[in-house]
Chains A and B, each alone.
Chain A
Amino acid sequence: MPKKKQELDFAKGFAELEEITQWFERGEPDLDQGLAKFTRAAELTKQLRERLVEAENTIKEIRTKSD
């Protein structure tokens, strides 16, 4: 079952956030880019945090043809 489009994909969200964190750790001071990236990171963090707090795990039994 494909996920709803508006739902943040955990893997992609975390990967993007990790990339931003690494960008900051590389330490090439660029205030303009830094501020833009920080804003994006804050947005991602908020969404990931919300999902981690609010989302539920779903369990569904699948029957194969031979069942």
Chain B
Amino acid sequence: MHVMTVSAFLSFVNETFKAIWDSTGVAVEGEVSGFKISQGQWVNFDLKDETSTLSVFMVVRDLHVPVQDGMRVRLFGFPRVYPKYGKFSFNAEKVELVGEGTLRKALALLRQKLELEGLFDPSRKRALPKYPSRIALIASRESAAYGDFIRIVNERWRGLSVDLYHVIVQGDQAPGQIVKAIEAVQSQPYDAIVLTRGGGSFEELMAFNDERLVRAIHASRIPTLVGIGHERDITLAEEAADVRGSTPTDCARRLVPDRGEVLFGLAQSQKRMRDVLAQWLEDWSHSVEYAVEAVGRWLVMLQDRLAATDRLLRSLDPSGVLKRGYAMVLDEKGAVRTRAAGLIVNQPLLVRFQDGDVNTKVTSAPASPTLKPVQPTLFYAEKETGT
């Protein structure tokens, strides 16, 4: 007979379980009940079917999907008896959600959680550069999505450098590979990251609802454009992206402008500039014309003023006065004599007419100074009497 201690027995049982149980190849499937997390570290719940219940234990860090009572899950791990209390449980190391209902429920829970954290906040979304020159494309090189995306980019734009990071886009490995690619491109000077795949069933697209992937997109320092080809559902990856494309083709359209339109725009803008310049030139030439006219008007005005001045000067010219019938009297010294006072008998005088001078002399003494003054500078002399 062989006697064992309780500890040794349980240790033997646990080692036996581990040895015979294929923890990655066999899963236990059932419905979750009594799900709870203790101290933020330990997860406990029951897994049930119609007739049986299995107690489940796991650590929070191994739980990558949101779990809730009523969900159908597949558990990978190993059976174990907890030595302290002798309680049999299943130590889960990985949880897979089963069925569209469960997946949708989990997705709703995750969406709610990430939304509360602000991962889909529209205010933090960045615009893509208008004219990208270098981009990182994360896609499967074998996918139709990749082909569609490149075809449309080639149709629309030129001079773009595309670095392809090939990843698988569905299944367990997909989120990890995509996250790695997103992290790898962060140190490169890309203008944008494009993550795309074609359509698929809800379950096939679940990789794009993976929490790690959504967080990696949210954390990207490079603007992100995510487009998953499908109709009904928007994945969380798309919601976290800066820009969402509805399909790979739509991603290409959102990423690069249409060069035909850009060429047209270039021609238009050049025409606009030319028109503005032409308008300015026209305005300028009008201003010059106006200035020339103004100078012309000024010249005419100047001429008028000159003529007026000339007329004034002419009117002041004594010869003009002489022509009108006046004569000028000068004494023997050539000084103009404007008064009779001071003249003496026999004093020689010179009377100047418009056409010549005549010598004469004073024949009588001047009249009394109380007499009415005569014309001050000139006196009217009949030519006949002056000679």
Tell whether, in the assembled complex, residue B280 and residue A29 are in contact, meaning their CB atoms are under 8 Å apart: yes
| CB of B158 to closest CB in A, whole Å | 4
| CB of B348 to closest CB in A, whole Å | 77
The verdict on B172 contacting chain A, using a C-beta distance below 8 Å, is no
Tell whether, in the assembled complex, residue A29 and residue B283 are in contact, meaning their CB atoms are under 8 Å apart: yes
Tell whether, in the assembled complex, residue B164 and residue A41 are in contact, meaning their CB atoms are under 8 Å apart: no
Tell whether, in the assembled complex, residue A34 and residue B180 are in contact, meaning their CB atoms are under 8 Å apart: no
Q: Chain B 232-273 against A: per-residue CB contact (8 Å), 1 yes, 0 no?
A: 000000000000000000000000000100110010011011
Q: Which residue of B lies closest to A7 (CB)?
A: B159
Give every chain A residue within 8 A of B277 (Cβ-Cβ): 24, 31, 34-35, 38
The verdict on B82 contacting chain A, using a C-beta distance below 8 Å, is no
**Interface positions of B (Cβ within 8 A of A):** 129-134, 136, 141, 150, 153-154, 157-166, 180-181, 184, 189, 191, 259, 262-263, 266, 269-270, 272-274, 276-277, 280-281, 283-284
Q: Which residue of B lies closest to A67 (CB)?
A: B166
Q: What are 28 inter-chain pairs, A to B, with CB distance below 8 A?
A: A3-B133, A3-B161, A10-B133, A11-B191, A14-B130, A21-B272, A21-B273, A24-B272, A27-B276, A31-B281, A31-B284, A38-B273, A45-B269, A51-B158, A52-B159, A52-B263, A55-B159, A57-B150, A57-B157, A57-B160, A59-B164, A60-B162, A60-B163, A61-B141, A61-B164, A62-B136, A64-B184, A65-B184
Which of A31, A41, A59, A62 is close to B280, meaning CB atoms less than 8 Å apart?
A31
C-alpha spacing A48/B249, complex, angstroms? 25
Give every chain B residue within 8 A of A61 (Cβ-Cβ): 141, 163-166
Give every chain B residue within 8 A of A34 (Cβ-Cβ): 276-277, 280
13-67 of chain A: CB within 8 A of chain B: 14, 17, 20-21, 24-25, 27, 29, 31, 34-35, 37-38, 41-42, 45, 48-49, 51-62, 64-66
Tell whether, in the assembled complex, residue B164 and residue A11 are in contact, meaning their CB atoms are under 8 Å apart: no
**Interface positions of A (Cβ within 8 A of B):** 1-3, 9-11, 14, 17, 20-21, 24-25, 27, 29, 31, 34-35, 37-38, 41-42, 45, 48-49, 51-62, 64-66
Q: Which residue of A lies closest to B160 (CB)?
A: A57
Tell whether, in the assembled complex, residue A52 and residue B276 are in contact, meaning their CB atoms are under 8 Å apart: no
Judged by DSSP, the binding face of A is helix
Q: Which residue of A lies closest to B163 (CB)?
A: A62
C-alpha spacing A53/B158, complex, angstroms? 7
Give every chain B residue within 8 A of A55 (Cβ-Cβ): 158-159
Give every chain A residue within 8 A of B166 (Cβ-Cβ): 61
Tell whether, in the assembled complex, residue A1 and residue B161 are in contact, meaning their CB atoms are under 8 Å apart: yes
C-alpha spacing A53/B262, complex, angstroms? 11
Tell whether, in the assembled complex, residue B259 and residue A57 are in contact, meaning their CB atoms are under 8 Å apart: no
| CB of A25 to closest CB in B, whole Å | 8
Which of B134, B157, B189, B266 is close to A49, meaning CB atoms less than 8 Å apart?
B266
Q: Which residue of B lies closest to A30 (CB)?
A: B280
User: Top 10 closest A-B pairs, CB basis?
Assistant: A55-B159, A10-B131, A55-B158, A64-B184, A29-B280, A59-B162, A61-B164, A57-B160, A11-B131, A24-B276
Tell whether, in the assembled complex, residue B262 and residue A11 are in contact, meaning their CB atoms are under 8 Å apart: no
| CB of A41 to closest CB in B, whole Å | 6
Tell whether, in the assembled complex, residue A11 and residue B274 are in contact, meaning their CB atoms are under 8 Å apart: no
Tell whether, in the assembled complex, residue B159 and residue A41 are in contact, meaning their CB atoms are under 8 Å apart: no
| CB of B18 to closest CB in A, whole Å | 30
Q: Which residue of A lies closest to B129 (CB)?
A: A11
Q: Which residue of A lies closest to B266 (CB)?
A: A45
Give every chain B residue within 8 A of A17 (Cβ-Cβ): 266, 269
Which of A37, A38, A52, A60 is close to B164, meaning CB atoms less than 8 Å apart?
A60
Given contacts A57-B161, A59-B164, contact A11 B259 (CB under 8 A): no
C-alpha spacing A17/B189, complex, angstroms? 24
C-alpha spacing A7/B274, complex, angstroms? 27
Give every chain B residue within 8 A of A42 (Cβ-Cβ): 270
